[in-house]
Structure 1
Amino acid sequence: MRDHDDTPYIVIEKDSSSGMASFVLGALVGAGVALLLAPRSGEETQALIRDRALDIKGTAEDRVRDAQRQLEARLDEARAGVQTRVERVREAVDAGRDAAREARSELETRLEKSKAAYRAGIDAAREVAAEDPIGEASD
């Protein structure tokens, strides 16, 4: 006698990401067939189908509106972030310009002082040379 453990068996696995979509589609088709085969008059069935279609349409419109609101909120956040960064860059550029102006002004002041000191040195050397010309002997 054969034992049940000796019986070969086959395992089939199917990985499909469209499983949920297939289930929903099958449920909708099944509901449609059930409506068509239900013991109702044609007018009642049409009214029921119309009402359910309007419900589905309303739900879809609500979801689209919600998605639009979420998208608009995210876009507003992104715009605000970009605006903040633009303002920071402008502030940095302005600060750099101010620092460059101050550095230039300080450099010009130092240059003027240096020129004045140079001129004073030349003038002093001329005065000394005028008072004590080279070639005169001092005893």
Structure 2
Amino acid sequence: MSDNNSDFGAFVSGFLIGGLVGAAVSLLFAPQSGEETRTLIYDKGIELKDQAGGVMDDTRARAEDLAKEAKLMAEDLQKRGKGFVDDQKKKSTKAADPEKKETKKKKDDTAKK
């Protein structure tokens, strides 16, 4: 599960860095005036901000889903563990009953003598 998270984080980082590098290269090689370049930089900045916001929303939703899934898995594991412990208690009590009876009988016999 952690490998998927690190792969996803690497993808997001690469996506954002690639977007910034691509925008910078396109601006540097574009034949236009300073005012047009500033407007383009501003527009690209807004576009990248929106994309980053979308990626953050997706990441947050994915993290929430993973947290819910982990919680459900933990609850299931807790229930299974409790069931196992209860079963073992019953088995040990059942196995100890004959020994308890034998011990009580010997104690009673000893007390009578």
TM class by shorter chain equals 0.5 to 0.7
1:81 counterpart (73, 77, 87): 73
Where does 1:46-57 land on structure 2 (aligned, <5 Å)? 46-57=38-49
Where does 1:1-139 land on structure 2 (aligned, <5 Å)? 25=21, 27-34=22-29, 37-39=31-33, 42=35, 44-112=36-104
The alignment covers a number of residue pairs equal to: 94
Structure of higher CA gyration radius:
1
Higher RCO by CA contacts (8 Å cutoff, separation 6 or greater): 2
| TM-score after normalising by structure 1 | 0.50
Seq. identity, %: 18
Instruction: Name structure 2 gaps, 5 residues minimum.
Output: 1-16
| TM-score after normalising by structure 2 | 0.59
Instruction: Name structure 1 gaps, 5 residues minimum.
Output: 1-20, 124-139
Q: Which runs of 4+ in 1 moved over 2 A?
A: 27-30, 44-49, 98-116
For the aligned residue pairs, the C-alpha RMSD in angstroms reads: 3.2
